[in-house]
Structures are given as C-alpha cells and as structure tokens.
Structure 1
C-alpha cells in the first residue's frame, strides 16, 4: 500500500492491467498488475456474467464426483437476526434434477458457521475467494484451498498462497467479479480433483502450517510473545 505513490512518481501513471509485472517491496517475485487490488489498478469492466458463471459452477461440482457442502445464499437477504439467509426454493436456481442426482454425496445449505465446518475431519478442501480471514481459518484447521478471488485484495492474496507460499491450488489468480470473464466447468472440475488428490504437495504444506500456527500461539510462541510485547509497550506509555 505504500508503494503506489513511488510507482506513480516513477512512471507518471497509475497501475494498468496491461502493464508488465512490477517489482514491489515485500514480494519475493515480480507482481502481475492483473492481481493488484481494484483500487490500485485500471480495469475495463464488461457486462456481468455472474449468472452464467453460477450455472457453470453447478455443472462442474456435479461432474467432479466429489462429496461437497455448498453454502448458497441470497445477497442482501437477511433474517430478523441479521444473518444472511439461504434460498427458500433451491429448484429455482439449480439445474433440473441436480438435487436428486447429488443427494447421496452433497449437502446444500444457507449461511453456515465456517470455522466449525473446517474443524470437521470430513473436510478435505475449500473453494475460497481468498479473503484473509478465510485463509487464516482454513490454515488453522489444515484445510487446503483452491483460489477463486472475486474483489478487493483477494487476487493478490491468491498470488501469495499459490506462488510464494505453496499453500493453495490455483484455479484462478486474476478472476474479478463483474468483468464478464467465465471460468469453464471443465477447468473447475479438474482443479477440484487436483485439490482433493492426496498426493498433492499442497496438502503436506498446509498440514505443516497448521502445526506452526498452533506453536505460534502457545507460551513462548512467536505470536504469544509478540502480543505480550505489545501489551507491555501499551502499559508502559505515560498517560497525557
């Protein structure tokens, strides 16, 4: 976030999606402009294809042969407690016969407690938009993810997870909601199978990170000590 003024001073323009990859401090590799947060880069938006993409996702999930838990909710539809609610009639949004064909291996719900789901031993992977909270929650429980970013900083989070850290399987790094670009059903199906492959080294890396996470928060761990130093620093400040 501190680098854009330097970029502008050097090139006399903001980032553009067509720019070559940039050397940005803190990143171990050159960063493609197409994964930078929307606020930092110039994008040409086309008519939205979100409904078509939703349909392709359904077909891919069915054809993958994987067991799944799918949380589907209506944006801006909340119940009296402020919780985002699910669709009242799934037949209106799913392909004809989808529920019948997948009933033995799939579960569809509205809002779901994500952390509780990750903690369940049956969960072998997670299709993620790559928000940082979801990334931390999945790593804490050792659940590998496949990257499908949508907006904000999610694209560059996906780059970190796939290219720098080796903690995620790439579906897309530069997908951006509302651009009119579609991710094909075959591509989604192939990535799901890759995510669930027990031989995938990402699974080993994620389990190692799970253990490191837990060591960091116990007495003597890096996070434990850092929070302790922060508290000591605050308490040592003189009141005005």
Structure 2
C-alpha cells in the first residue's frame, strides 16, 4: 500500500477543553488513486493533509508510506520524505517571487543530492502542465492559473508517489479549473496518487474516490 493511515488523531487544547481536529481517521491510498476529500471549513481537511505531508505531528495513530512509519523518522529522514515521497500543492500561491518559473520548478531537486540535472526535467514538466513558454518569466508576470501550474510542476519534480493538493482550484475560473483537474486525472493515470481537498463538488467527478470529513472524522462515499 502506498499510504496507510490508521487511527490518526490530532488534538489541540481549546480553552480548558481538548479539541480533536482529527479524530481516529483511517485511510488507505494506492498508486494511481485520485482521492477527493470534501467537507465544511474547519472540519479538519487541511490538518489531515498536513499530517500526511509530515508538516504536523499527530497526537496518536500511525502514518505509513510504502510500509515505512513516517512518525519514526528523525529530522533528515523526515525532510527527505517530504522532498521525495510527497509532492505538495498548498492553498494560494507559494512560488518565490525572486526566481524565474524554471528556477521555482527545479528548486526542490537541489535540497538533496541527486543524479542527473534538473533543468531538462523541469522544462519537461512545464510542458506537461502547458506553460513551457513561461520558463524564463517571473511570477509577477503570470495569472493565477499559470501560478498554480508552476506549483504543480514543482511538486512533481522529484517523482513523488503521492501528490497532495489543498484547494487547488479555489481561486480559478471555470475553464482553468477544468484544465487543472484534467491534469490531475492524467497524473493519477500515470501512477502517481492524487489526494485533493476541495470545496467544489463539480471537481470530484474527475477522481475515482470521494471522502467526506466532518468534525475530524472521515467517511468514504460510494460514487
């Protein structure tokens, strides 16, 4: 199994009472899955993604990637996991304004020593997301949809097993949303799992699984 989440709980203190943002969540994701998670704001969706991405630590439970318990990783191993196993597309625009599109995409390649070069691969990914002509441009010259494509290409530079996307179409028009969702479908079709949080119910038809989160609990819907 590519990803196995078991009895995952994330608890915070709210005043004098404990509050479970994530409450005993179980989730299995296989290669090529396209999983959409829907639910109201504050239901725990983004917290779950951040736990799976290794950006937060749970109160209890386990997260296994390719059979390895990521919660047992020390700092360097945890960083390598985030850099190599997970591709992360956060909410909003996270590209660096002082770097060109090409440099933004290839930046994660250099965080750990790797064989080969990043430029050719980055240019290929920009072609796959439909903006190869923007490689020398700077973020301030791009539209919102183009910036989102840069984020997706950057998330794929190290061939992750799973692409995590948090509200990737929340600020895009209808046509650009359809293009981004079609891109995610092609990515999952190539074997990379996609785990997406969304408020837009029309987008869930692109995937093969839909899960609902409410009050920190996760349930799967039959499509």
TM-score after normalising by structure 2: 0.27
Higher Cα radius of gyration: 1
* Greater fraction of residues in helix: 1
